[in-house]
Amino acid sequence: MITDTSRSPYARLSCVPFQDVQWTGGLYKERFETVSQVTVPHLMRMFEGKDISHVVENFRIAAGEAEGAFAGTVFGDGDFYKWFEAAVYTAVRSENRELLERLEDYIGLFARAQQADGYLSTKQIIGEKQGKGPMRQGDINDFEVYNMGHLFTSACLHYRLTGRDSFLKVAEKAAGYLKTLYEEAARTGEVKTAVCPSHYMGLVELYRTTGKKDYLDLARLAVELRDSVKDGLDDNQDRLPLKQHRKIVGHAVRANYLYAGLCDLYMETGDPDYRKVLESVWTHLTSRKIYLTGGCGALYNGASPYGNFFHHQLVHQAYGYEYQLPNITAYNETCASLGGMFWAWRMFLMDPRAEYMDMLERMLLNVNMAGISLDGRKFFYENMLERARKLDYELLWGQERTEYITSYCCPPNLCRTLSQTSEYAYAVDGEGVWTGLYGANAARFSLKNGAVFTLKQETAYPFDGKITISVTESNGVPFTLHLRIPSWAAGANLCTKGVTEHPEAGTYTAVAAGADFACELLLPAEPRLTVGSGMIEEDRGRAAVEAGPLVYCLESPDVPEADSLQDLLLPVHPVFEKTEETLEGRTFTAYETTLLCKKKPPEARDALYRTLEEASPVPVKARLIPYYAWDNRGMGEMLIWMPLAWREV
């Protein structure tokens, strides 16, 4: 989602338009091309399929152009709007006029389904027309307002990238309906929760796009009314008044969407109480409840208490207790970490600190890229950190990616995010450029201080830490280049005009730049071992392998001498050899090493308890691949956190 903070009074930075930044090579370019050529048309077929999602058919029935009943998920409308964003991004970048016109046809369908008062939710419209329910706003879990929130952001994007206002008109009409709804709720005091509040981001973006203050006022009112919800739930983060929030609790997607929207509202209003909430909850998330991969929402179902143990409810897709981070049963819905990216990006625009971009990058490159297969056709809903050969219980979602998931919110959300990654490459202030995601790219800038220039980035990042940045086509006006030094990059080197500096990890370092400027940034991206807090029960005595911003993992095919990954131990001083691996036609960096294998008989491995074996482990060859590339070779075991062997190979 484009976030235009160029006129937001409490934002330090603003975005660079999508058209002005383009990946020229590397992982991000490959992922964009896969999404454009494969995933966008694949998802369109899913949404068009009457016997698959039934989403487009619902719009046709609501518009009176087809017969039948509502079918599919209640949030299917919103899923389709998310796919629409991805389609706009890819169609504009590739100048696909056929797809752009197809999108205009869909907009016409939305307009014909929309009711005279602006209401647009196919389930209720169909129910009203057929005289057999359901009622508008009758069930908070029908996601009506959530669907409209994605309608708003999608329409704003369409207008900005194409200049056409056809979709924007539909969005403004729908916002008019919400205005009536919320003003009536404020008058009567009868306020209902709007689950998964995408509309906070959507309404603020509608204000930024149109300049109409009514939409900002409506966003403020919608947020303030949260405190009037009767019998609020931790599940929806509305049991406590919003300004009292200090911890991350409840349903992970709903939480991350809430705080992303609150960040948008803060950047327009500057309410210091909201900023305190944002900073406190962010710190709680990143220091207590997030996975190494950036995964959010550890539990399928679990308690998410806020203080007093006796005041909590059972929550699904829950953040759970502090340090409660299981691996095999990790939930980590893809949409939760996508929401985490939206939130992190807004925190960065509000306050440009390296920790926000570091977390955004971690989420994107690890858990979110793992949510889609390398060929762009299959998806995870949840993202485990370990896959066992067999389970004695059944989980809600399968352990392999699939083309169609009943709850289809994640694939289009992931699709639109991978389509827009170039927007995370840079941000600007009046006198300078701030680097976000590193990757081979070319970007055009026109700053408020009069500097006009192009930046060129040459790198194999994230597989290599060498990044060369040069200025071309400059009008000679100087500017400041702010370079992100990730928290993992201790020992980084920056060479400019023959002078080498050693910038501090976890910070931004400022460099004076202008015509003919060039610099070389060397980030140490070799493999390193990472351990977790002793409070994370499942990871005690274990370590994970990271290289640069990437988390690496083991899969069964890459340790052929081991009967099970459970038999493996990681030496405390492993030696890694860099190599290349190719899967599904995509090439990436892998690492070969030697592990220790302590083979167990099947009966011992399956026993609940057993006598400690004294047999010495033997060395075995192993290959580690990026976590994002796993599950592209069929069913097998996968492991990130490996037990440590406190001896040398």
Domain of 639 in residue numbering reads as 527-645
pLDDT at position 30 over 80:
yes
The confidence score (pLDDT) of residue 96 equals 97
Q: Looking at the domain assignment, is residue 3 inside a domain? A: no
Residue type at 161? L
pLDDT at 389: 83
How far is Cα 366 from Cα 14, in angstroms, rounded to an integer? 26
pLDDT over 90 at 323, yes or no? yes
Q: Report yes or no on 1 lying in a domain.
A: no
For 536-548, how does the pLDDT look when each residue is reduced to its tens digit (9 = 90+)? 999 999 999 999 9
Q: What is the DSSP string of 231-249?
A: T--GGGT-SS-GGG--S--
Band the pLDDT of 22: cuts 50, 70, 90: very high
Same domain, 136 and 204: yes
409 and 444 together in one domain: no
Residues 289 and 391 in one domain: yes
Shared-domain flag, residues 560 and 469? no
> 416 with 492, same domain?
no
Same-domain pairing of 493 and 537: no
Q: Is 133 contained in some domain?
A: yes
Average pLDDT over residues 251-265: 97
Residues 154, 201 share a domain: yes
- Cβ neighbors of 626 (< 8 A, separation 6 or more) are 365, 366, 550, 551, 552, 553, 588, 589, 590
Candidates 499, 547, 491; CA nearest to 522 is 491
For residue 395, what pLDDT band results from cuts at 50, 70 and 90?
confident
Residue where one domain finishes, among candidates 357, 392, 424: 424
What's this model's pTM, rounded to 2 decimal places? 0.97
DSSP string of 570-636, one letter each residue: EESS---EEEEEEETTEEEEEEEEEEEE----HHHHH-SS-PPP-PPPEEEEEEEEEGGG-SSSSS-
Contacts of 125 (CB under 8 A, 6+ apart): 62, 113, 115, 119
Region for 57 from its dihedrals, namely left if φ exceeds 0, alpha if ψ lies in -120 to 50, beta otherwise: alpha
pLDDT (average), residues 53-80: 96
In the numeric block, the tokens 């941000």 are attached to 427
Using the 3D structure, point to which of 381, 403, 424 is the last residue of a domain.
Answer: 424
Residues 272 and 649: their CA atoms lie apart, in Å, by: 55
Number of domains in the chain: 3
- 647 pLDDT band, cuts 50/70/90, is low
487, 551: one domain: no
Among the residue ranges 162-176, 398-412, 497-511, the one predicted with the least confidence is 398-412
pLDDT > 70 in the chain, percent: 98
* Averaged pLDDT, 607-630: 91
β-bridge pairing 568-571 and 550-555: unpaired
What whole-number distance in Å separates Cα of residue 270 and Cα of residue 286? Answer: 24
Structure tokens given for 515: 């015509």
CB of 202 closer than 8 Å to CB of 260:
no
pLDDT tens digit sequence for 281-310: 999 999 999 999 999 999 988 876 665 666
Domain boundary among 391, 407, 424: 424
548 and 518 in a single domain? The answer is no
User: pLDDT for 550-567, tens place per residue?
Assistant: 999 999 999 999 999 999
CA distance 403 to 424: 27
At 453 the pLDDT is: 98
Strand order, beta sheet including 432-435: 14-15, 426-428, 432-435, 479-485, 507-513
Question: Band of the pLDDT at 137, cuts 50, 70, 90?
Answer: confident
The identity of residue 136, as a single letter, is: R
Of 25-39, 44-58, 567-581, 612-626, minimum mean pLDDT range: 612-626
Q: What is the pLDDT of residue 368?
A: 98
Residues 269 and 384 in one domain: yes
pLDDT of residue 310: 66
Residue 347 lies in a domain: yes
- Dist. CA 405–CA 396, nearest whole Å: 11
Average pLDDT over all residues of the chain: 94
The reply to whether 9 falls in a domain is no
CATH of the domain at 182: 1.50.10.10
For residues 162-185, average pLDDT = 97
Q: Let me know if residue 8 belongs to a domain.
A: no
Q: What is the pLDDT of residue 108?
A: 98
On whether residue 539 sits in a domain, the answer given is yes
pLDDT at 131: 86
Q: What pLDDT was estimated at residue 11?
A: 98
pLDDT of 602 > 80? The answer is no
Q: Are residues 504 and 533 in the same domain?
A: no
- In the DSSP assignment, the letter for residue 472 is E
Tell me the mean pLDDT in the region 303-327: 79
Task: Mark whether 112 and 213 lie in a shared domain.
Answer: yes
SS (H, E, C) 54-123: CHHHHHHHHCCCCCCCCCCCCCHHHHHHHHHHHHHHHHHHHCCHHHHHHHHHHHHHHHHHCCCCCCCCHH
Q: What was the pLDDT predicted at 188?
A: 95
pLDDT tens-place string over residues 437-492 = 999 999 999 999 999 999 999 999 999 999 999 999 999 999 999 999 999 999 99
- For the chain, the first-to-last Cα distance in angstroms comes to 49
Q: Is residue 184 part of a domain?
A: yes
